[in-house]
Chain A
């Protein structure tokens, strides 16, 4: 079975470490916040200028001046700090964020990522995505393995305009966890009940099956 969105978030959460500063993108990455282990202290960065994003507010706490990068109303947790946008991106570009999780349309064997622009469709902009992929060392891309029409999103060369070049090393799809090394996807883990053959079939770029490939458990 392909992973659910919640399972994808759960799997990503296993990459968290106590004391990490983490930036979570919109969509599945946001759900990762629900799976931070109770014995870990992790600080979430929101690129509009908040380090230490807390839960959504109650009606009584609702504050138009307190939002996240997805423009949702949020709260600040204990230990949070607030700053301007240049400071926020200094953290990101300066490599101070320990883990960045974001979605994509495509990734390829060179670690290129395309996530912001589909030619012919209205382009809304890249927001902070280009800064995040260029600035972070430790990035996990979350996306479905193939499009609804069955087209692989793991390619030998991205077909869409890039968000960043050569910056992705880890990809979690609904079918597998893969790493990118030396011009190939390395299959490290399969989703429960998903065969290696299915993943091979749905991966367009060069794929190497690790000797110790594991099946994920939840």
Chain B
């Protein structure tokens, strides 16, 4: 198993090779299923000029929001942002570039990137500002725009459990973009709540097969809730 043992012991090791101006794909939806400790490690390393691809950009002081504090993100590719004041400030002052991408297109861009498909056509965004500058083609009487795939130098992913081989399962809706990001990183790093012995996870229940995963680390998570809502 030696060559297939993806476990690393420290977060420093987990993100070894991450340098300025790289593209990082991050899993998560809002604050649900975000790789909290890998984000903290990016902050600690102080790398700058990053392009970050993630559905959202965290909040002030938590999630990807912490990377804004030292201006580590140059460009954000996301479907919905601005839950944080610092993000808004950097956007309005022109320090931060934002490429707003429809949520389904963003997911499919990552999926395509991981699957070796350079581009695809979708009806989403046709006739809207998203279509500007993009090729339009008609199929069966309907217009579609061409969207290009996304890959990253690194993918940072939050799983629930993984085994030594890097097989990963996710918990509930913390799955979201994580398995897609996992397929599309040149180096894919997964942090999990628990690393289990090989054989514990059933082959048929694996969400992300280990072939996509380069490094696995176990962490502890705050799991902050963005909109705590309970039954009246």
- B-contacting residues of A (Cβ < 8 Å)? 46-50, 55-59, 62-68, 70-74, 76, 82-86, 88-89, 92-93, 112, 117, 122-131, 134-135, 161-166
Contact = CB atoms under 8 A, between A and B. Distances in A.
Contact of A85 (B128, B160, B177): B177
Contact of B103 (A47, A58, A165): A47
A128 B128 contact: no
Interface stretch (B39-47, B166-174, B196-204, B209-217): B166-174
Contacts of A165: 126-128
Interface SS of chain A = loop
Contacts of A71: 29-32, 226-227
B225 interface: yes
A65 B32 contact: yes
B58 interface: no
A32 to B, nearest CB: 17
Contact of B223 (A65, A85, A135, A166): A65
Given A127-B103, A134-B122, A164-B127, A66 B78 contact: no
Contacts of B175: 49, 82-84
B86 to A, nearest CB: 13
Contacts, number: 172
B180 interface: yes
A25 to B, nearest CB: 13
Nearest to B103: A128
Interface in B81-123: 81-83, 88, 91-92, 100, 102-108, 110-111, 122-123
Nearest to B115: A86
Given A48-B29, A65-B172, A123 B100 contact: yes
A85 B180 contact: yes
Given A50-B173, A85-B55, A73 B228 contact: yes
12 contacts: A57-B231, A62-B228, A65-B32, A66-B173, A72-B228, A82-B175, A84-B180, A86-B104, A123-B100, A124-B83, A129-B102, A135-B124
Interface in B183-220: 207
B130 interface: yes
Contact of A89 (B82, B107, B173): B107
Contacts of A47: 103-104
Q: Which 3 A-B pairs have the closest CB atoms?
A: A165-B127, A89-B104, A131-B104
